[in-house]
Amino acid sequence: MDICVCGAQVPFMSGGAEMHVDNLVEALRRAGHRVELVRLPTAWDKTRIFDAAMAWRLIPLDADMVIATNFPSYFVRHPNKVVWLFHQHRAAYDGAGSEWSDFGDDEPSLEAQRLLTQWDAVALGEAQRRFTTSGVVAARLARFNGLDATPLYHPEPLSDRLHEGPFGDYLFCPTRLESNKRPALMVDALATLDPGLTMRIAGSGSHRDDLLARAAAAGNSERLELLGYISDDDLIAQYAGALGVVYVPYDEDYGYVTLQAFRSGKPVITAHDSGGVLEWVDDGVTGFVTDGSPEAIADAGNRLAADPELAERMGRAGRERVAALSWETVVRTLTEPT
């Protein structure tokens, strides 16, 4: 078929959603489809939240099928629209009132939320079929918009290159240094973490200076390594050499970090409110589900350090957990006739 894959992007910003769309396009082409990637620029702030949504309504797409992904690309109109929803505009839904959202309880925010809920219900309701990247995203869609969708899992980036390695003397996490990813929990965990262990965090963000200050105030500067941006080769090596991976975001949509850790044979330490991560981490089997406190995170790391066989056993279970993920299954599911 001729397929247009639709995605939205804030200019000069690239992350998991962009990698996801690129990998989908590649997988569709491998399956023999003719594919065009259509992206429109968007802005996330409340005052401009409807601009790109309206633009998508005006885009003519001549294709056999369109596959819409992240907000607001699913506002595109087409008689054979399939939605594979990464997430909606979370700042207006479950994130409203949080420090990372510009939606509060003021009248303009409430009116924008009302309109967006209405618009989303129409645009997503038009789809011939609806899928989501996880059960968490499907549950949000049902909760806020009354629409059902089927979770459709996919392989993580670098899945064909990640590999096992020795269990080293550090815990690792690649993540954005922003409040919804909660990197401060990892830094504060150093206070009770085995003194023979260090914490390595890759990624950039607005909280970098605060994290360095927190570690310095607690006397743990030498045990915290903020690696900043790292190459794919370095990322693979960091996963391979870690004792375990800590990933404690708030209500994550899917969580590539979890799958990459499992593919590398490493257990994952997470929190009870980390969302889609919990669809993969079985407490005591593929990692630890903690209460999210720094002390509990440190305790889980200490257990791995004290019991190397446990770390290896959990790592093997993680690799088995992600072994069946394939883009072939994703493509077949998205393109099958209605």
Helix then strand count (H, E) for the chain reads 11, 12
- For residues 334 and 338, give the distance between their C-alpha atoms in angstroms, rounded to a whole number: 10
CA–CA dist 64, 337 (Å, integer): 11
Q: Which residues of the chain have pLDDT under 50?
A: none
Output the CA–CA distances (angstroms, integers) from residue 194 to 34, 81, 198, 314, in the order listed.
54, 52, 8, 20
The CATH label, of 1.10.3720.10, 3.40.50.2000, 3.30.70.120, 3.40.50.1970, for the domain at 2-152 is 3.40.50.2000
Q: Which residues contact residue 316 at a Cβ distance below 8 angstroms, ignoring those fewer than 6 apart?
A: 265
The sign of the CA dihedral 306, 308, 313, 316 is positive
Look up the CATH number of domain 170-322: 3.40.50.2000
The answer to whether residues 203 and 177 touch, using CB atoms and an 8 Å cutoff, is yes
What are the residue ranges spanned by the domains of the chain? 2-152, 170-322
The contacts of residue 4 (CB under 8 Å, 6+ apart) are: 35, 36, 37, 38, 61, 63, 65, 66, 67, 78
- Alpha-carbon distance of 266 to 284, in angstroms, equals 13
> What pLDDT score does 15 carry?
76
> What span, in angstroms and rounded, lies between the C-alpha atoms of 192 and 210?
20
- State pLDDT tens for residues 84-137: 999 999 999 988 988 889 999 999 999 999 999 999 999 999 999 999 999 999
Same fold, 2-152 and 170-322: yes
The pTM is what? Answer: 0.90
Angstrom distance (rounded) from CA 281 to CA 255: 11
